[in-house]
């Protein structure tokens, strides 16, 4: 089968074209660096099937980043039958810089001049016939987004395969032309493939080339002795880059013609005006915070647009109807996210009831053992339902985020926040994964691949779980409700909000400490081109969403399903394999493990001081490792052990009822409760996140990351417990924090001094 490779700059539309050509559903993003591995698909509309590879976006073939190495090696080693070089027509010159390098490899190339629709909108036209002639390659105008002309790219490419192509270079006639020819001859002498390409790289003093052919370096060294450029001295890499750009501006820039000056001006002005507001020094961050709040409001609010008061009078009229549960939560209209949540919840719980009824019948007739229906209904189905019930909200959240991303706004936010992030040793790029963490840590972890700097990536990965994800929200709301009822302090929003802030502050402090101790290093520069604003596309947004939903459902039916079964067994069987009733869970295997671990949590306020009940919180936290949704569900089951009566967490207000029972039954203090929430928020995240993290890090770094999470959660929770229970300890903590900050400052100074020397 023939192989075609899609090669181009980041954000030029490769993945969009790939998806159109292969009917695939890879993630498209208006955010440079979205495709981080190569992807393969099949194109079927020609007489034979063609395999198409989507390579990561690159600006050049020099190995600066791992993406550039992947793409370069693919082109040189796998020898695609044709390269489809995608060019963002709105950034012609910069994109052609890569093309001038591709020319030096002897592989057929077709140029797909993409974003023609956008170019038209800007009132610009490119003289295609002349471009083809000057560059010596076929050029096809396309719009990957509008699926315009994409098949003719494939036809042209297919025709090129049989013709083949000799390598060529725009550097032949430059001051280095002779040297390049000499080195090329030397490469030909040792029978290396693509001698021209390797020759130029060697002249550039490319590290890979030097280490592969050290004996040819002499030719370049010799030439340097009698050479001196006014501007660049003997820096051949700079001279070559300069020559490429000179060639491009001289030959290709004139091919861009403004055909509609009016449109051109208006377009530029509009974008400029929008940017002036959105990236404004003062207004930028507040605007972003408002937008962020709107997103969370649309997804999670139970008092949508704060309209609750308006309907206070009319609300009783639909009390007791279907509507009440669906769109009305005491005192407010539900947001779209919550409505979808309720809808799915109603469906699944009636489904579970039906199954429970059916199994109950079988049990009575003696067809099955009692434990079967317990396992199926309480274990498997309840577990799956509680996880899947979050799917609607996660999808709404992702939908809104992907609209923001696709429009080009997110790239601007990263730009605004860069200055702030820099103070903590991160660049603006780290912002995206963090914000995604509020939804779900799994995609957030994957997104850290766009961070080219290893240290920055590691630091970001470690703090992502502190950005409290959607699944941790029920823990917050249930316990906050319980606190309000038992201790009569605070308010639900205040406690919830406070805990989100605790998470973020922990993240900031942790990054600061790590970046000045274990993972020191320069904050990488933040260079990201601001993509054009454009209307988010329905198709790519849906592809994006489907991808997320698929991932989540897969997770629910694999890792979470398996773990709920295991937990159910551990909490319903004693060490001698006796089936236990719900209220006897303290005798279960899990209960006894909890009791064993209980003393460890004494400094956190939910350990041995709770006497015979410390284990219940420990067990709840352990089940949270599987999925954070489990914590509240476990509360319901454990409340039964304490009072002998099972609390139905599914019923409205049931989760808070469970929390109240846990609080009054165990006698836990306010400080202990707050510490418990903080512990769940900052400790090792759910299995799915841990598995993703493992895939992103080397083994050693991964193990240390687990340790880091455990240690952080113990420190943060202990501090909260002590501060609330024994107020005088705050003074000691303040002194300690000041000392740590001073120590960090001191060590940074030393490093700077060393550098200065
Ligand atoms: P990649 O980084 O090269 O894989 O680029 P993507 O395929 O992820 O696309 C980057 C952005 O450009 C996305 O927002 C796309 O919707 C947008 N895009 C891609 N092709 C076109 C096009 O033909 N016209 C317009 N206006 N936008 C496009
Ligand atoms: Mg891509």
Give residue for tokens 């799994």.
442
The pLDDT of residue 34 is: 47
The pLDDT of residue 213 is: 92
Dist. CA 116 → ligand 1 center (Å): 11
SS3 303: coil
Q: What percent of the chain has pLDDT over 70?
A: 91
Long-range contacts of 573-582 (CB under 8 A, 24+ apart): 579/370, 579/371, 579/374, 582/378, 582/637, 582/640, 582/641, 582/646
The pLDDT of residue 126 is: 95
**Is 665 within 8 Å of 613 (Cβ atoms)?**
yes
Q: How many C-beta atoms surround the C-beta of residue 743 within 10 A?
A: 12
Q: Which residue has the higher pLDDT, 63 or 617?
A: 617
Backbone phi and psi for residue 233, each to the nearest 5 degrees, phi listed first: 60, -125
Round to whole Å and give the CA distance between 571 and 618.
Answer: 13
Q: Which helix (H) or strand (E) holds 570?
A: helix 561-572
The pLDDT of residue 757 is: 60
The pLDDT of residue 33 is: 47
Of the listed ranges 31-40, 161-170, 614-623, 653-662, the one predicted with least confidence: 31-40
**Is 220 within 8 Å of 209 (Cβ atoms)?**
no
Confidence tier at 730 by pLDDT (50, 70, 90): very high
Round to whole Å and give the CA distance between 542 and 629.
Answer: 26
705 beta partners: none
Round to whole Å and give the CA distance between 515 and 501.
Answer: 21
Question: Is the predicted pLDDT of residue 647 greater than 60, yes or no?
Answer: no
Beta-sheet strand order (sheet of 2-8): 39-43, 50-54, 2-8, 82-88, 109-114, 139-141
**Is 95 within 8 Å of 112 (Cβ atoms)?**
no
Q: How many CA atoms lie within 13 A of 456 on its CB side?
A: 25
Dist. CA 11 → ligand 1 center (Å): 6
DSSP per-residue string spanning 674-740: HHHHHHHHHSS--HHHHHHHHHHS-HHHHHHHHHHHHHHHHHHHHHHHHHHH-TTHHHHHHHHHHHH
Round to whole Å and give the CA distance between 605 and 599.
Answer: 10
Q: Nearest CA to 300 among 389, 397, 391, 385?
A: 397
Q: State the closest ligand 1 atom to the C-alpha of 143, by its place in the atom list counted from 1.
A: 23
Q: pLDDT of 93-136, one tens digit each?
A: 989 999 999 999 999 999 999 999 999 988 999 999 999 999 99
Confidence tier at 706 by pLDDT (50, 70, 90): very high
The pLDDT of residue 243 is: 93
Q: What is the mean pLDDT of residues 37-51?
A: 87
Dist. CA 30 → ligand 1 center (Å): 7
Mutate which of 5, 6, 9, 16 for ligand 1 pocket (most atoms within 8 A of beta carbon)? 16
Round to whole Å and give the CA distance between 141 and 150.
Answer: 9
Dist. CA 84 → ligand 2 center (Å): 14
Of the listed ranges 536-550, 672-686, 697-711, the one predicted with least confidence: 536-550
Of the listed ranges 41-45, 340-344, 528-532, the one predicted with least confidence: 528-532
Average pLDDT, the chain: 85
**Is 105 within 8 Å of 167 (Cβ atoms)?**
yes
Q: Nearest CA to 554 among 375, 692, 379?
A: 692
Of 154-158, 556-560, 609-613, which has the strongest mean pLDDT? 154-158
**Is 425 within 8 Å of 520 (Cβ atoms)?**
no
The pLDDT of residue 156 is: 96
37: exposed, middle or buried (Cβ count in 10 Å: 0-12, 13-18, 19+): exposed
What is the sign of the dihedral through the CA atoms of 745, 747, 748 and 753? positive
Measured from the CB, is residue 34 less than 6 Å from ligand 1? Answer: yes
Q: Closest Cα to atom 9, ligand 1: which residue?
A: 13
The pLDDT of residue 651 is: 56
CB contact set of 93 (below 8 Å; sequence gap of 6+): 245, 248, 249, 252, 253
Q: Nearest CA to 89 among 245, 255, 217, 237?
A: 255
Of the listed ranges 23-32, 406-415, 588-597, 672-681, the one predicted with least confidence: 23-32
Of the listed ranges 434-438, 492-496, 557-561, 603-607, the one predicted with least confidence: 557-561
Q: pLDDT of 504-515, one tens digit each?
A: 999 999 998 898
Q: How many C-beta atoms surround the C-beta of residue 209 within 10 A?
A: 23
Measured from the CB, is residue 81 less than 6 Å from ligand 1? Answer: no
The pLDDT of residue 755 is: 62
Dist. CA 13 → ligand 1 center (Å): 4
Question: Is the predicted pLDDT of residue 644 greater than 70, yes or no?
Answer: no
Of the listed ranges 35-39, 357-361, 490-494, 622-626, the one predicted with least confidence: 35-39
Q: Where are the alpha helices (DSSP H) in 305-453?
A: 308-311, 322-327, 336-364, 370-373, 382-388, 391-407, 409-422, 431-437, 441-447
Tokens of 338: 């919550």
Mutate which of 7, 13, 38, 410 for ligand 1 pocket (most atoms within 8 A of beta carbon)? 13
The pLDDT of residue 166 is: 93
Dist. CA 532 → ligand 1 center (Å): 10
Round to whole Å and give the CA distance between 30 and 33.
Answer: 9
Q: pLDDT of 288-297, one tens digit each?
A: 888 988 887 8
Backbone phi and psi for residue 148, each to the nearest 5 degrees, phi listed first: -95, 125
Confidence tier at 325 by pLDDT (50, 70, 90): confident
The pLDDT of residue 7 is: 95
Question: Is the predicted pLDDT of residue 244 greater than 70, yes or no?
Answer: yes
Q: Closest Cα to atom 2, ligand 1: which residue?
A: 11
Q: Which helix (H) or strand (E) holds 128?
A: helix 128-135
**Is 547 within 8 Å of 442 (Cβ atoms)?**
no
Measured from the CB, is residue 20 less than 6 Å from ligand 1? Answer: no
DSSP per-residue string spanning 611-634: GGGHHHHHHHHHHHHH-TTHHHHH
Measured from the CB, is residue 406 less than 6 Å from ligand 1? Answer: yes
Confidence tier at 27 by pLDDT (50, 70, 90): low
Dist. CA 37 → ligand 2 center (Å): 9
Q: Closest Cα to atom 24, ligand 1: which residue?
A: 115
The pLDDT of residue 459 is: 95
Measured from the CB, is residue 540 less than 6 Å from ligand 1? Answer: yes
For residue 116, give Cα distances in angstroms to 96, 111, 119, 124, 395: 16, 13, 5, 9, 32
Confidence tier at 379 by pLDDT (50, 70, 90): confident
Q: Which residue has the higher pLDDT, 139 or 285?
A: 139
Confidence tier at 625 by pLDDT (50, 70, 90): confident
The pLDDT of residue 717 is: 96
Q: State the closest ligand 1 atom to the C-alpha of 17, by its place in the atom list counted from 1.
A: 7
The pLDDT of residue 715 is: 96
Q: What is the mean pLDDT of residues 374-390?
A: 74
Question: Is the predicted pLDDT of residue 649 greater than 70, yes or no?
Answer: no
Backbone phi and psi for residue 651, each to the nearest 5 degrees, phi listed first: -65, 155
What angle, 0 to 180 degrees and rounded to 10, lies between the N-to-C axes of helices 654-666 and 614-626? 140
Q: What is the mean pLDDT of residues 580-585?
A: 74
Give the chain's largest Cα–Cα span.
100
């Amino acid at each position: 089968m023939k192989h075609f490779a899609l090669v181009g700059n980041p954000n030029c539309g490769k993945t969009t074209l790939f998806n159109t050509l292969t009917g695939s559903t890879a993630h498209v993003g208006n955010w440079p660096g979205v495709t981080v591995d190569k992807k393969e698909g099949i194109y079927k509309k020609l007489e034979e099937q063609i395999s198409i590879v989507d390579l990561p976006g690159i600006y050049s073939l020099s190995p600066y980043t791992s993406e550039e190495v992947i793409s370069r090696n693919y082109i040189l080693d796998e020898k695609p039958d044709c390269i489809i070089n995608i060019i963002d027509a709105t950034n012609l010159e910069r994109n052609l810089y890569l093309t001038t390098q591709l020319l030096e490899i002897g592989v057929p190339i077709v140029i797909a001049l993409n974003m023609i629709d956008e170019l038209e909108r800007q009132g610009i036209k490119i003289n295609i016939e002349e471009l083809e002639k000057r560059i010596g390659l076929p050029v096809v105008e396309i719009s990957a987004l509008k699926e315009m002309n994409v098949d003719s790219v494939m036809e042209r490419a297919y025709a090129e395969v049989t013709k083949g192509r000799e390598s060529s270079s725009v550097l032949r006639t430059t001051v280095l032309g002779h040297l390049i020819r000499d080195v090329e001859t030397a490469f030909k002498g040792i029978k290396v493939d693509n001698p021209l390409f390797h020759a130029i790289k060697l002249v550039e003093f490319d590290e890979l080339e030097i280490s592969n052919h050290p004996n040819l370096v002499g030719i370049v060294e010799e030439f340097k002795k009698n050479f001196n450029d006014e501007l660049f001295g003997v820096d051949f890499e700079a001279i070559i880059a300069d020559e490429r750009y000179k060639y491009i501006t001289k030959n290709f820039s004139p091919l861009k013609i403004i055909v509609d000056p009016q449109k051109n001006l208006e377009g530029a002005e509009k974008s400029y005006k929008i940017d002036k507001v959105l990236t404004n020094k003062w207004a930028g961050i507040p605007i972003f915070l408002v937008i962020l709040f709107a997103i969370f409001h649309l997804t999670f609010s139970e008092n949508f647009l704060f309209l609750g008061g308006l309907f206070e009078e009319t609300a009783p009229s639909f009390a007791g109807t279907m509507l009440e549960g669906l769109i009305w939560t005491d005192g407010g209209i539900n947001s779209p996210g919550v409505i979808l949540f309720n809808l799915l919840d109603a469906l699944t719980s009636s489904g579970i009831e039906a199954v429970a009824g059916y199994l109950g019948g079988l049990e009575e007739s003696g067809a099955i053992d009692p434990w079967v229906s317990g396992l199926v209904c309480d274990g498997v189905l309840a577990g799956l339902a509680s996880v899947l019930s979050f799917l609607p909200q996660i999808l709404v959240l992702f939908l809104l985020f992907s609209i923001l991303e696709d429009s080009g706004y997110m790239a601007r936010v990263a730009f605004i926040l860069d200055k702030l992030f820099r103070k903590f040793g991160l660049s603006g790029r780290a912002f995206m994964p963090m914000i995604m963490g509020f939804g779900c840590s799994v995609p957030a972890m994957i997104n850290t691949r766009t961070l080219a700097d290893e240290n920055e990536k590691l630091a970001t990965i470690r703090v992502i779980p502190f950005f409290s994800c959607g699944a941790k929200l029920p823990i917050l709301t249930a316990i906050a409700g319980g606190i309000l009822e038992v201790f009569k302090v605070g308010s639900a929003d205040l406690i919830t909000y406070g805990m989100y802030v605790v998470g973020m502050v922990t993240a900031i402090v942790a990054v600061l400490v790590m970046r000045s101790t274990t993972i020191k290093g320069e904050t990488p520069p933040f260079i990201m081109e601001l993509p054009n604003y454009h209307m988010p596309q329905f198709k790519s947004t849906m592809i994006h969403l489907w991808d997320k939903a698929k991932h989540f459902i897969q997770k629910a039916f694999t890792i979470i399903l398996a773990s709920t079964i295991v937990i159910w067994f551990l909490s319903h069987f004693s060490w001698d394999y006796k089936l236990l009733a719900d209220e006897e869970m303290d005798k279960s295997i899990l209960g006894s493990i909890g009791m064993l671990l209980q003393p460890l949590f004494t400094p956190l306020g939910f350990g041995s001081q709770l006497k015979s009940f410390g284990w219940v919180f420990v067990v709840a936290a352990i089940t949270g490792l599987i999925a954070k949704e489990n914590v509240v569900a476990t509360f319901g089951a454990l409340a039964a052990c304490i009072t002998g009566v099972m609390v139905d967490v599914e019923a409205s207000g049931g989760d808070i009822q469970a929390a109240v029972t846990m609080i009054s039954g165990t006698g836990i203090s306010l400080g202990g409760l707050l510490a418990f929430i903080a512990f769940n928020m900052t400790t090792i995240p759910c299995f799915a996140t841990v598995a993703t993290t493992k895939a992103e890090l080397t083994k050693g770094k991964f193990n240390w990351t687990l340790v880091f999470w455990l240690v952080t959660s113990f420190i943060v929770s202990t501090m909260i417990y002590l501060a609330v229970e024994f107020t005088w300890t705050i003074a000691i903590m303040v002194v300690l924090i000041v000392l740590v900050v001073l120590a960090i400052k001191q060590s940074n100074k030393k490093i700077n001094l060393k550098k200065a020397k």
